[in-house]
Structure 1
Amino acid sequence: MGSKEDKASAAGGGFFSTIAAGVKSWSTAVHKSVNGIMGYEGLEVINPEGGTEDAEAEASRGRWKQEDRDGYWKMMHKYIGADVTSLVTLPVIIFEPMSMLQRMSEILEYSELLNKADECDDPYMRLAYTATWFVSNYYALQRTWKPFNPILGETFEIVNHCGISFIAEQVSHHPPMSVGHGENEHFVYDITSKLKTKFLGNSVDVYPVGRTRLVLKKSGQVMDLVPPLTKVNNLIFGRTWVDSPGEMVLTNLTTGEKVVLYFHPCGWFGQGRYEVDGYVYSSEEEPKVMMTGKWNESMSCQPCDLEGEPLPGTELKEIWRCAPAPANDKYQYTYFAHKLNSFETAPKGLLPSDSRLRPDRYALEKGDMSKSGNEKSRLEEKQRTEKRMREAKNDKYTPRWFNLTEEIAPTPWGDLEIYEYNGKYSEHRAQIESSTALTDADPTTIEFNPWQYSDVAE
C-alpha cells in the first residue's frame, strides 16, 4: 500500500500540477496524504484494462450483451483519440433517465454546507465547508450510466429546494454547452460548462472545460473552482467504473486563500479509490486545515501546523457524510436524484422546455426502451431540422435566460466563452408565483417544447 511518506511524495509532486499556473507551490508546500492515517476499508478488485470475468454481471445490469459489445466496438474503434462528446449516436441501453442539465443540479443536494460556510467566521473553515460542497457532487458523478445530451433550448428548473431557485439552460449544441444559476439567501452559484472528451477505445477521458463562480453573500467573497478530469473506464469491455484522479483547486479570489485536494487514482485492488486529502492554505501559502475523506462517504478536517501535522489538543472533525441511498437502485440514484425526475417536485407553471418533459427520458424511466430510442431519434432529427431552418433564415440562436458575454476564460483544457445569468428567470418565476390565473395543471400533459420555431414544435 505504501507508506505515508511515499504517498506524500506522490501527491507533493503535483500529479495534476499543470491544472493552473502557480498551483505547484501550493500543492508541494506540505501536501501530504493525510488519508493514509484512515486505512483502507472495503477494497475491491478492479481490472483497469477491462476483462470478461464480469461481463455477465454487466449484462444483467442492462448494459451490454456480447453481440452488442462486438457491434459497437467495430463501430467506435475508429474514433479512438477523438472528441466524441456529440459525435456518436449511442443506444439508450447505456443511458440513465436524466439529462445533463439535471445532473448539473445534483450538486445542490448538500447546499447546507454553503449555508454553514456563509455563516462561518473562521476563514479557513469557510473554505473547508465550501470545498467539501464541491467534493459532495462526486458521489453522483460515479454513476456509469450516460445522461441524455440536452436539446438546444432545453431547460431544468428547481424552485424552493432549501430556499434555492435554480435554472439551467442548454445554450449551444455544437459544441455542447450548459449554463446554470442557483441562489438562496446565503450564496450565488454560477457555472458555464463545456465538456470535452477523448475516446481511448475502452475508456473515455472527460475534461471539464468550464468555469464555476460561487459568491458567499455575508462576506461577499468570490470562489473559483478548477476540478480534475474524469475517466470512465471499461466503457465496452469489463465492468464500467469512474475515477477522477488529480487535483481539485478552490481559490478564494477575494482573499487569495486556497484549497488543494488530491483525488487519489484507483489501484488494481481498489487501493486509493474514492480517497481525497489535502489542505486549506492561507494567502501566504501556509497550511491551516488538513482535509481528508472519501468522496463517496464523508469528509473530515482538523487544524494543522506549518508542517501539515495535526495541532495538539485538536481532533479530526467530520463535516459531511453522504446521505443513505436506495438499496439496489438500478441507476445508483440517491433519493435527491429521484426528486429531480419527479413531477411532484415540478414547480407551478413548469417551462415546456424542462428536462422532465422529454419523451425519451420519460419512456426510459418507465422501462420502455423501444419508445425511448424512437423518441430520442425523433428529437435529434427535429433538432437538425431546426438548425437547417435557422441557417436558411440566417438566424442566430439566442438563449432565453443567459447572455453571452465578451469574456473568454482560460482553462487547463482550452478557452471558454462565458455566459452570465440575465435575471429574467427570477422575474418570470415571480410573475408565475403571483398569478391567480395559473392552476396547478398536471405537468405530464405538457408537451416538451424547447424549439426556437413554432413550426418545428408542431
Structure 2
Amino acid sequence: MNQNSCQKIEQDVDSSEVLEDDNKSIIMGLIAQLRKGTDLSRVTLPTFVLEPRSMLEKITDFMSHPDLLVKASKTSDPTQRFVEVCRFFLSGWHIKPKGVKKPYNPILGEFFRCEYSLEDGSKAMYIAEQVSHHPPISAYHYSLPNLGIFVNGEAHPKAKFLGNSAATVMKGYTRIIFSELDNETFEISNPNVYARGILFGKMTMEMGDQSTIRCKSLDLICELDFKTKGYFSGQYHSVTGKIKRISTDSTLYDISGVWTEELFIQEKEKKSSKESFFNVSEHTVITKSVESLDKQEWNESRKLWSKVTAGLAARDVDVATDEKTFIENRQREETAARQKEGLQWHPRFFTINKHEEYELKGLSGIDLKNLSQANEHLKKQIFAHTPPAISPATSTETVMSEEDQKALIAEREPIAA
C-alpha cells in the first residue's frame, strides 16, 4: 500500500465562524424554505459549508489514538481496563475542522480505507463503506488483528432544522471487541452534533446530549453528558461523566473537563483528588496512511471527491459546486436506473448478519485463535483491488482498468448547479 500522509485538519477551539454577507444571504434563503423539524438529509447545502472530506473519513477521527486502545487491551485489571477504554473513546473528539463545517455526504457504494503504523510496530487498518443512502448508513471496521482488537460500527446520522440551530442525531453504535479476552465487548453510543447561530449570532459547532460505554461482562457502564453552552453561562465543549457498577448503580469514578483541551478523572471511593485523564497537548495524533489518488478506485472517498476538494482548497466555489452537483446527479440517475430495472444494491465490503447489522464480509469466518492468519485475511479483504469497481447502476461487478478509471474522472463534463 503506497503511503500518503493524511491532510492536516485545521483546528479551532471555539469551532465558530462569522459568515460573509453573500454566504449569509444564501443560508437565509435556504432556511426560509424550511420548517422546524425538517429532515435535512434531503436538502442540498451550499458548498462553502462543507468540510473537505467525506463522512467515511471523518469517522477515523475517533481512531486517532490507537495506542490508547492497545494499552486498554493489555490492562489486566478489569475495572482499570474499562477505564482505559473510556479514555480511548474520549480521545478522538478534539479533532475537528475550523468553523462550522459538514463533511461530504457519502454516495452509495463509496468507501474509504487506510492504515495506521504504531510506534510499537503494530498496524491498524480501517475500512468504511456507504451501505445505504436513504436512510444514510455508514458501516465501518477498524482493527489491530495481530493484537486481537476489533472495532465494528454503524453511523446513522439524521440532521434536523431546529430554528436557530441544526442538529445531527447520531444513531448507530461502535462495538470494541478484545478477542484475546474471551471476546470481551464494549458497546458505545455517540453524542449528537449541533450547529448553533445559523440565523443570528456567531455560528458555533457543539457536541451535546448523552453517550454511554457499556460492558455487560464487566458489569460496568460509563454515562457521559456532553454539555452545550448556554446563552449567559457555561463553557464550550465541556463533558461530565460517571463510571458505575451496573448491578449496584454505585459510582466508581467521576469524569469532567473540556474535551478540546483536558479531561480529568476522580476515584469516588478513595475520595482522591482529580487526576489528568487525557490532555490533548500531551498526545500525538497517529496519522493514517492512504493510497495515492492515482492508485485509488473511482469510488474511494478522496478520489471521488477530489475535484470538489480542489475547488474548496482554491476557494473556487463555482468549481466545487459543479463537481459536487455532478456526483449527486449521477447518484440520482443510478438510483433511478436500478429502480427501473428492479435491481437491489449490495455493498461490496459489508453484509447483513443474523442480528441485522452490517458486518465486514468474511469476519465471522476468521479463526481468532490464529491472529497472524486473521491479519493476513483482513488485509487482503480490505485492501484488495479486485474487482476494481462495482457499478452502482447495475449492482454487478465490473472490471475496469486504471486508465478507464482515470478517464471516468477526467473526461466527464461538470453539470452546472
Provide the TM-score with structure 2 as the length reference: 0.77
Aligned to 1:257: 220
Aligned to 1:403: 351
Aligned 8 A contact 2:335 2:393 in 1: no
Change (3 A) 1:296 1:160: closer
Aligned 8 A contact 1:124 1:288 in 2: no
Please say if 1:127 is aligned against 2:82.
yes
Percentage of pairs with the same residue: 23
More strand by share: 2
Aligned 8 A contact 1:95 1:146 in 2: yes
Q: Which residue, out of 255, 258, 261, partners 1:294?
A: 258
Aligned to 1:149: 105
Q: Which residue, out of 177, 187, 202, partners 1:224?
A: 187
Aligned to 1:170: 130
Give the alignment of 1:43-122 within 5 angstroms.
58=18, 64-122=19-77
Tell me, in whole angstroms, the C-alpha distance in 2 between the residues paired with 1:269 and 1:161: 45
1:148-184: CA deviation from partner (whole Å, max 9, x where unpaired): 1011111100124431110000011111111110000
3-state SS in 1 of match to 2:155: strand
Please say if 1:421 is aligned against 2:369.
no
3-state SS in 2 of match to 1:292: strand
3-state SS in 2 of match to 1:245: strand
3-state SS in 1 of match to 2:48: helix
Aligned to 2:340: 392
Please say if 1:430 is aligned against 2:380.
yes
User: Could you tell me how far 1:130 is from its partner in structure 2?
Assistant: 1.3
Aligned 8 A contact 1:83 1:198 in 2: yes
Please say if 1:377 is aligned against 2:325.
yes
Tell me, in whole angstroms, the C-alpha distance in 2 between the residues paired with 1:350 and 1:248: 35
Aligned to 2:267: 303
User: Could you tell me how far 1:376 is from its partner in structure 2?
Assistant: 0.5
User: Could you tell me how far 1:101 is from its partner in structure 2?
Assistant: 0.5
Gap regions ≥5 residues in structure 2: 1-12, 364-374, 409-417
Aligned 8 A contact 2:337 2:393 in 1: no
Aligned to 2:241: 278
Tell me, in whole angstroms, the C-alpha distance in 2 between the residues paired with 1:165 and 1:404: 21
Tell me, in whole angstroms, the C-alpha distance in 1 between the residues paired with 2:281 and 2:310: 26
1:111-135: CA deviation from partner (whole Å, max 9, x where unpaired): 2221111111222222222122222
User: Could you tell me how far 1:280 is from its partner in structure 2?
Assistant: 1.4
After alignment, is 256-265 or 187-196 more displaced?
Answer: 256-265
Tell me, in whole angstroms, the C-alpha distance in 2 between the residues paired with 1:249 and 1:432: 29
User: Could you tell me how far 1:430 is from its partner in structure 2?
Assistant: 2.8
Tell me, in whole angstroms, the C-alpha distance in 1 between the residues paired with 2:210 and 2:92: 15
Gap regions ≥5 residues in structure 1: 1-42, 47-53, 59-63, 306-310, 326-333, 409-417, 439-446
Tell me, in whole angstroms, the C-alpha distance in 2 between the residues paired with 1:448 and 1:147: 23
User: Could you tell me how far 1:105 is from its partner in structure 2?
Assistant: 1.1
Change (3 A) 1:433 1:137: closer
Tell me, in whole angstroms, the C-alpha distance in 2 between the residues paired with 1:289 and 1:119: 21
Change (3 A) 1:237 1:448: farther
Tell me, in whole angstroms, the C-alpha distance in 2 between the residues paired with 1:68 and 1:167: 35
Aligned 8 A contact 1:158 1:346 in 2: no
Aligned 8 A contact 2:260 2:280 in 1: yes
User: Could you tell me how far 1:432 is from its partner in structure 2?
Assistant: 9.3
Aligned to 1:20: none
Please say if 1:179 is aligned against 2:139.
yes
Tell me, in whole angstroms, the C-alpha distance in 2 between the residues paired with 1:278 and 1:335: 24
Aligned 8 A contact 1:191 1:213 in 2: yes
Please say if 1:240 is aligned against 2:196.
no
Please say if 1:352 is aligned against 2:298.
yes
User: Could you tell me how far 1:274 is from its partner in structure 2?
Assistant: 2.0
User: Could you tell me how far 1:198 is from its partner in structure 2?
Assistant: 1.7
Change (3 A) 1:126 1:77: farther
Please say if 1:196 is aligned against 2:158.
yes
Change (3 A) 1:433 1:135: closer
Aligned to 1:442: none
What code does the residue aligned with 1:218 have?
Answer: E
Quote the RMSD (CA, aligned, Å): 3.4
Aligned 8 A contact 1:279 1:290 in 2: yes
What code does the residue aligned with 1:183 have?
Answer: S
Aligned 8 A contact 1:118 1:217 in 2: no
Aligned 8 A contact 2:261 2:279 in 1: yes
Aligned to 2:8: none
Aligned 8 A contact 1:248 1:261 in 2: yes
Aligned 8 A contact 2:127 2:382 in 1: no
Provide the TM-score with structure 1 as the length reference: 0.70
Tell me, in whole angstroms, the C-alpha distance in 1 between the residues paired with 2:383 and 2:24: 49
User: Could you tell me how far 1:349 is from its partner in structure 2?
Assistant: 5.2
Aligned 8 A contact 1:99 1:361 in 2: no
3-state SS in 1 of match to 2:217: coil
Aligned 8 A contact 2:87 2:278 in 1: yes
3-state SS in 2 of match to 1:89: coil
Change (3 A) 1:174 1:224: same
3-state SS in 1 of match to 2:150: strand
Aligned 8 A contact 1:348 1:433 in 2: no
